[in-house]
Amino acid sequence: MSFKRLDTEDFVVSSDSITATLWSTDAPTLTTFFTNSIQEAGSSGDYYLSVYQTSSAEAVTQFDIAYCNSLGSGSALYNSAVPENSPTKTLYGQYRTLILEDENAQFTFGVGNNIITGSDFWVINFERARYKESLFPGSLNLTLSGSGGRIQLTDNSNDISVNTFIGASRVFQLVSGSNGTAIAGGGYVTNSGSYGLVFPDLGVVLLNPYAISQSIRVSPSRSNNSDGFSNRRLYTSISGGASFTINSQETITSDYIFVRSRNSEFNYSENPSFISGSTGEVIYSNFINNPQTYVTTVGLYNDSNELLAVAKLSRPLIKDFTKESLVRVKLDF
C-alpha cells in the first residue's frame, strides 16, 4: 500500500441538473385521473381530494386538490356556534403561513396593472414522493376543461429574466400558454390577474378561481356552512382536460478527485507476493530494477489516516517506471 497527499488542483467540484418525469407512470403526461371514494368520504375528504393514476391496486397518490377560503366558505363548519371556522379557512391559514410567512397577508395573482387579491384559491399539492428536489420550471402544462371551453396553463418561467420570491420561495405566475411561455398578451385574464402561482421548490400550484371562472366557467362553491364539493369541481376540470405534464428537477453535486501516479511512483508493493515479510526484501530479483505492479483500488484518507472512501477500478492497471496513470474518482452527493 502506498500513499500520496493530494494537492488543491486535484479537486474539482461540478453541479449538474437532472430532470425526470414526476408521475409514477414514468410517462411525461398524465392523461387519466382517478379518486378514491373511501378517502373522499373519510375525515381527510373534508380537507383535500387525492388523485391517482389508476383505479387498480397499484394506485398511488400523484397529487392532492384542496380548496382554501379565508372566510371559511365552501365547507361545513367545525361547530355551528363558531362562524367561519371550517376546513377551508384552516387550509387557507396553513398555506398563508407556509408561503406568505405572515398571518395577516393575502395572496395576490398577477403583476403590474393586472393584479387581483384573492380571498380564496384552489391548490394542487404534488405528492412529495413524486418529485426529487423541486418542480422543473417550464415543464408545467395543465389543460382544464369547463362549460366555457378548454384552456392550457403553464408557468411563465421563460418570460422572465429574474426570479421572483414570496418569502423564501421562488414563484412563477400561472398563465395561459405552454412550456413556460405565455401566449401573446401575457396569458393573463383582464381584471382577474394570472391563473395562479407556481412554487417549484414547495411542489405547490395555487389556482386563481376568478380567472378560471372567467375563462372556462369553472368556479368553487362559496356557500356558507356547506360542503360545496369545490375539490371535485377542480378534479372534474382536470380529468376533463385529460392532459397534465410536469417534470421534477434535482441538482447533483459531484466532487471529482484526480489521483495521479507519475512514472516514479507506485511501482513497488508491500504485498507478500512482492516482498518478503521477514526481511522486507524483494522476492524476485528482476523486480528490483524493473518492478511491475497492478493497481486495483484507490482509497481516500483524511489527515488522521482514516479511510473515507474506496474506489475500485474496473480492471487492474499495470504500473512500472515507463508508465504514468490518471484515475478520476467521482463522488456524488
Residue 58 has a pLDDT of 86
- Among residues 245, 269, 284, which one ends one of the domains? 245
Q: Which residues of the chain have pLDDT under 50?
A: none
Domain range spanning residue 262? 8-14+254-332
Instruction: Please indicate, yes or no, whether residues 73 and 219 belong to a single structural domain of this protein.
Output: yes
Q: Cell numbers at residue 211, please?
A: 380567472
Domain count, the chain: 2
Residue 278 has a pLDDT of 66
Q: Cell numbers at residue 4, please?
A: 500520496
SS3 content of the chain, % helix, strand, coil (to 5): 15, 40, 45
Instruction: Please indicate, yes or no, whether residues 115 and 151 belong to a single structural domain of this protein.
Output: yes
Residue 236 has a pLDDT of 97
Residue 173 has a pLDDT of 97
Instruction: Please indicate, yes or no, whether residues 177 and 302 belong to a single structural domain of this protein.
Output: no
- Supply φ then ψ for residue 11, to 5 degrees: -115, 135
Instruction: Please indicate, yes or no, whether residues 188 and 310 belong to a single structural domain of this protein.
Output: no
Instruction: Please indicate, yes or no, whether residues 205 and 324 belong to a single structural domain of this protein.
Output: no
Instruction: Please indicate, yes or no, whether residues 70 and 204 belong to a single structural domain of this protein.
Output: yes
Residue pair 186/173 in contact by the 8 Å Cβ criterion: no
Instruction: Please indicate, yes or no, whether residues 291 and 237 belong to a single structural domain of this protein.
Output: no
Residue pair 155/177 in contact by the 8 Å Cβ criterion: no
- pLDDT tens readout for residues 44-66: 999 999 999 999 988 999 999 99
Instruction: Please indicate, yes or no, whether residues 193 and 216 belong to a single structural domain of this protein.
Output: yes
